[in-house]
Structure 1
Amino acid sequence: MSDRRVIVVDVETTGLDPAKHTVVELAAVDLGTGDHRVIVPALRREDLAAASPRAWTVNRYFERRVYEQAMGESALNDALCELFGWLDGATLAGASPAFDAAFLATLFEDRCDAGVPTWHHRLADLSALTAAALQKDPLKLPGLDVCCAWWGVENEAPHTALGDAQATAECLRRLRAHCDDRGSVRPDYEGHQPASERYSASAAAEARL
């Protein structure tokens, strides 16, 4: 990775089609500083009508009462304009960054006065980078759960925007250390012996205070 700012993004959505579905929860983590933002758009009637039941099962939107954090139009616009400043000119990273980028572009175009930020045209894909770094089959890319297992990272809140974004960010940090041959990062290549130190998002947050 270059010295360009890297922003890890994860979105939870009402389905898989950015032309029909929308973002219900968005988290962004600055890979360098660890700072993060969480954005929860208020869903409109048409968003709920088009939603996939499978999506609600995966992201547990109602069980987690995510709707209680929903932002009004003005607050949402302000939050997206702030995120615009993070993303514009940055490298967009994620466990599935092409998926996230498609939904991000639609969300910004639809609900942000600033328009759509221009992030770098190359995306930092954790799955592809992990497969390459650990010499895995490049056509059988691992999901986030497998990447976390290989890098010794515990995702404390899977299938939540912030939980997945923070876990992805820590995997990327360990991947970078592995590639730079810094520290004592020992990936779990075969899935049998766990890494010596497991990451905890809450512990990392406390350490930055």
Structure 2
Amino acid sequence: MIILDAEFTGLDPHKHSLISLGAFEFEKPENQIYLECLPWEGAEIMDDALEVNGFTEERIFSSHKTLELAMIEFDKWSQGVGEHTLAGQNVGHLDLMFLQTSFERYGMSFKFPHRTIDAHTLTYMHLIKRGEKPPMENERTAINSSFVQEYVGIPEEPKPHNALNGAKVAGEAISRLLYGKNLLTEFENFPIPEYLLN
């Protein structure tokens, strides 16, 4: 399974660009990749997106790697991973769409499945199994990454955001939710809540 997080210049994969990607193999967490790249030529940049991911336009355009080269490197790296199911905080929406659009932009075959695993859904399910009501806001789930991290007993991801750190936080959360076990050494000093051990 590939734990993935990515950063973008906005929310629309047809107008905005992927600018960084972090991933690791769940079964072999030491097998990691982190890539930063230039946006595709003509991609729009939303100030709100940069506020979230901590990038500046100067940083974005200081990369010497094109998006095409980054996708080629990610594709090559992923060939060494046994299972190509993608997992993350909420990977089935933006991350998956941007990754697929980026591959297709350069005529690359997109081999990753559209069925994904995300920490949001696992947290929602775990709360229900415990007989607890998931937090709601505006008649929908209010489970976000901060809630998930607190629920599984790990600190919030440091700011500014980094895609590999995001992948690590999501991977640790998924491990604790699925198995009640620590996955990564950087989180071994954070106790697993008792309700995840049963």
What TM-score does the superposition give when structure 2 sets the normalisation length?
0.76
Is it true that 1:164 corresponds to 2:166 in the alignment?
A: yes
Name which of 99, 103, 108 aligns with 1:104. 99
Q: Which residue in 2 is equivalent to 1:33?
A: 28
Q: Which residue in 2 is equivalent to 1:93?
A: 87
Q: Which residue in 1 is equivalent to 2:122?
A: 129
Please report how far the alpha carbon of residue 13 of structure 1 lies from its aligned counterpart in structure 2 after TM superposition. 0.3
Q: Which residue in 2 is equivalent to 1:19?
A: 14
Q: Is the 8 A contact 2:18 2:67 kept in 1?
A: no
* More helix as a share of residues: 1
SS at structure 2 position matched to 1:28: strand
Whole-angstrom CA distance in 2 between matches of 1:188 and 1:153: 14
Pair 60,87 (structure 1): closer, same or farther in 2 beyond 3 Å = same
Whole-angstrom CA distance in 1 between matches of 2:104 and 2:70: 13
Q: Structure 1: which 5+ runs fail to align?
A: 1-5, 190-209
Q: Structure 2: which 5+ runs fail to align?
A: 182-190
Q: Which structure would you say has the larger RCO, counting Cα contacts within 8 Å and 6 or more residues apart?
A: 2
Is it true that 1:61 corresponds to 2:50 in the alignment?
A: no
Corresponding residue pairs, total: 177
Please report how far the alpha carbon of residue 87 of structure 1 lies from its aligned counterpart in structure 2 after TM superposition. 6.9
| Paired AA for residue 6 in structure 2 | V
* More strand as a share of residues: 2
Within a 5 Å distance, the mapping from 1:177-192 to structure 2 comes to: 177-178=179-180, 185-186=192-193
Please report how far the alpha carbon of residue 154 of structure 1 lies from its aligned counterpart in structure 2 after TM superposition. 2.3
What TM-score does the superposition give when structure 1 sets the normalisation length?
0.72
Percent of residue pairs identical: 25
Q: Comparing 58-67 with 6-15, which one deviates more in the overlay?
A: 58-67
